[in-house]
Structure 1
Amino acid sequence: MQLRFWLVTGILAVVLGTTLPQETVCRAPDGKNGIPGAPGLNGRPGQKGDTGEPGKPARRTGIRGPKGDEASRQFPPHRGNTVVFDNIITNQEDSYSAQTGEFTCRIPGIYYFAYQVISSGDLCLSITKNKESVVSFCEDNIRNILQVNSGSCVLSLAIGDKVSVITSSLQNMIYSGSEADSVFSGFMLFPQMG
């Protein structure tokens, strides 16, 4: 009998709970807010916005230096171990000599120099400052195919300092031909003050 009572009471509660609207259910007042939970995961990215207005031009912060120098060579003449790039591409300050293969500093400053030389065999090259090697780069060319050898450095130069590219006497396989050019270039990054 007790089992029947609880069965009827349970069914009645279920039927009444589903048929009564929520507004008529007796509710207690809301309690105090709890502590905030942990932040959730980021949502999906939104749609791309409209293109903005163009920015204002930047203010010039540097000092305008001289133009760079660049020379190339197709058929390499040599003066001792100095590599002479005899085809002048630009020489704004007339600082590079196609006769000696040397760049002579006319304005003291910090300069960047780079070369890209085509070789048909093993090749070792150095960038020199006043005939002293600053950096050296060697490339082995086991297959004896045309390959590009490159090197670069940043130098602090005073008036009259000379920069050139030299070969070692043992490994000097600079390519001579019309298919490709070798290039030597340099330019001032900024002048030295004081």
Structure 2
Amino acid sequence: MELSFPNNAHAIAKTLHEFDMDIRSLDEDDSHRLLQRLADFSECVTVTMLGCGVLQVSVLLLLPCLVALQSCPSGGIPGMPGIPGSPGLDGRHGPKGEKGDPGKTGLHGPAVGQKGEKGDPGERGKMGKMGRSGVPGPAGTPGLPGPLGEPGEGGGAVGVSAFTVRRRSELRPERGEPISFPTALTNTNDHFNLQTSKFECQISGTYYFAYHASSASRNLCVNLMLDGVTLAGFCDHLVNNNPQQVSSGGLAVYVKKGQRVWLETDGSNGMFVKSGQGDSVFSGFLFSF
């Protein structure tokens, strides 16, 4: 069925606005109310019923037209609502937001955690630099004596110096000269020179020198000399006209290597013996280095 209404475009627009322009969502009662309102307008509005409760509206402002109302070919009951469609795709990521404020400082954890299990030994490292020498330790106890060494080559005794020389003469010694002792009874390392009758020191140390002299018919004074300096003098004088006497003397003295020691007399030079009636001897030996 078609109806013609007065032309009034402004009233049509207002009416459509009241129905929110969403004509496709109107039910059948709302559609009839809309048609009653549109009947008051003089402009031509075409309204077509497309199925049950669905309207199609077109407004023609320039040309007159008719309003057609077509009822639903069947008066059936509206169908059930359709199944909801599947969810749409996710939209695009929005722009990155601004950096937020720093959060509050959390509570401090324990200062030291629980002790873990002992790990495997690591590889041996490189040898470090040699350290400084330490303080010398105390002397240890003496060790046991070692075995005897093999016999060495022959030679003079080392660190030994000793001599004993003899005089047997009817000649009196010269005053102020070394007394001659031509015969060596002991002369280790030949430190006593029989040619000069002087002991020539080869090892510095303390020596003990002694003499025993036989005299007859005269007084006897014997001086022990060191490089021309008198170290000590010993004298023996006749007593009760005894023609044969023996005098002796001795002392210890430090002698350096290269120095010389000998005996000599002064004016009292009664050192005299007949053959087979006595000897005079001069001895010396090193006893301390």
TM-score band by shorter chain is 0.5 to 0.7
TM-score of the two chains, using structure 2 as the length reference: 0.42
Q: For 1:93, what is the secondary structure of its paired residue?
A: helix
Please show how residues 8-47 of structure 1 align to structure 2 within 5 Å: none
Displacement of 1:102 in angstroms is 0.4
CA distance in 2, matches of 1:77, 1:144: 18
Provide the residue aligned with 1:127 in structure 2.
Answer: 224
Displacement of 1:99 in angstroms is 1.7
| 8 Å CA contact retained: 2:205, 2:255 | yes
Aligned length: 128
Q: Deviations over 1:79-107 (max 9, x none)?
A: 65211111110111201112211001000
Which of 143, 151, 154 pairs up with 2:249?
Answer: 151
Which of 175, 184, 209 pairs up with 1:88?
Answer: 184
**Structure 1 residues not aligned, in runs of 5+:** 1-63
| 8 Å CA contact retained: 2:172, 2:271 | no
TM-score of the two chains, using structure 1 as the length reference: 0.61
Q: Kindly tell me: are residues 159 and 91 of structure 1, through their superposed partners in 2, closer, same or farther at Cα, counting changes over 3 Å?
A: same
| 8 Å CA contact retained: 1:112, 1:155 | yes
Quick check: which has more Rg, 1 or 2? 2
Provide the residue aligned with 1:69 in structure 2.
Answer: 163
CA distance in 1, matches of 2:262, 2:273: 19
| 8 Å CA contact retained: 1:77, 1:83 | no
CA distance in 2, matches of 1:130, 1:118: 25
Q: Could you say which structure has the greater relative contact order, defined with CA pairs below 8 angstroms and 6 or more residues apart?
A: 1
CA distance in 1, matches of 2:159, 2:237: 38
**Structure 2 residues not aligned, in runs of 5+:** 1-157
Q: Deviations over 1:111-160 (max 9, x none)?
A: 00000000112011110111110000111114142111101011101111
CA distance in 2, matches of 1:172, 1:110: 29
Letter in 1 for 2:194: A
CA distance in 2, matches of 1:177, 1:86: 16
Provide the residue aligned with 1:98 in structure 2.
Answer: 194
| 8 Å CA contact retained: 1:104, 1:161 | yes
CA distance in 1, matches of 2:197, 2:261: 9
Q: Does 1:181 align with 2:279?
A: yes
Q: Kindly tell me: are residues 67 and 159 of structure 1, through their superposed partners in 2, closer, same or farther at Cα, counting changes over 3 Å?
A: closer
| 8 Å CA contact retained: 2:227, 2:259 | yes
More strand by share: 1
CA distance in 1, matches of 2:166, 2:213: 9
Q: For 1:82, what is the secondary structure of its paired residue?
A: coil
CA distance in 2, matches of 1:78, 1:86: 13
Q: Does 1:137 align with 2:231?
A: no
